[in-house]
Amino acid sequence: MRKIILILFFILSLNIHAQKGSSQFSFFGGYEHFPELWESKGYNIGVEFKHYLNNHIYVLANFHAGINDGSKTTNYTKGDINYNFPLTNSVRDYMLGFGLGGDLLQKNRHKIYMQGTAGIGSSEQYKDGIILSPGGAYDMIKTFEEKSTRFAISVSAGYDYQLTKWLSVGVNYTGWQIGYEYKNSINAKLGIKF
């Protein structure tokens, strides 16, 4: 434990570029993994605001929208007839969070950071299912809808490169927990410092 504290102290004592009182507004977007869906590949977009309390620690607010439009074709035989049903499963996740973050490394134009937020999230899911008609003569597709608003958290680790005094680019890995569902994303980021 003592070694870890010494290493963190050393990293935090390196060259400092973030200034107390400065702020940054960022746009991000990228690939998001939806493990509970038929088609797990989706994408996300969002915005983030950081305000530095000192040279390393900042408060932040972020908004995230995760989007997935998956589909699956179900084939089966009933009697002598082959059935093909295209089924869709779509999700829209939204989160508004507030939290803290810190720069672990600041060296020249490079910055490595970690941050976390807590807030509120909402999820809308639409899932198709095959149901039998009342007489059992034919099958049909019905869309089931589920909407909920729940507690949400996010944790990010990322890297920023300062292009100019006011513009930076970066990448991050973020885990999103909205209610009981965990999703993760890899994002590209564009930041404006003021």
Cα separation of 183 and 151, whole Å? 14
| End-to-end C-alpha distance for the chain, whole angstroms | 37
What are the start-end ranges of the E strands in the chain? 23-33, 41-52, 57-78, 81-107, 110-132, 139-162, 167-178, 181-193
Which structural domains are found in the chain, ordered by start?
Answer: 2-193 (2.40.160.20)
User: What pLDDT is stored for residue 155 in this prediction?
Assistant: 97
Residues in the chain with pLDDT values less than 70: 1-19, 38, 72-83, 85, 132-140
Task: Give me the pLDDT at residue 13, please.
Answer: 44
Angle at 61 between CA 60 and CA 67, to 5 degrees: 130
pLDDT at residue number 47: 97
Q: What is the pTM of this model?
A: 0.76
- In 3D, which of 19, 146, 176, 8 has the Cα closest to residue 187? 176
pLDDT, position 2: 57
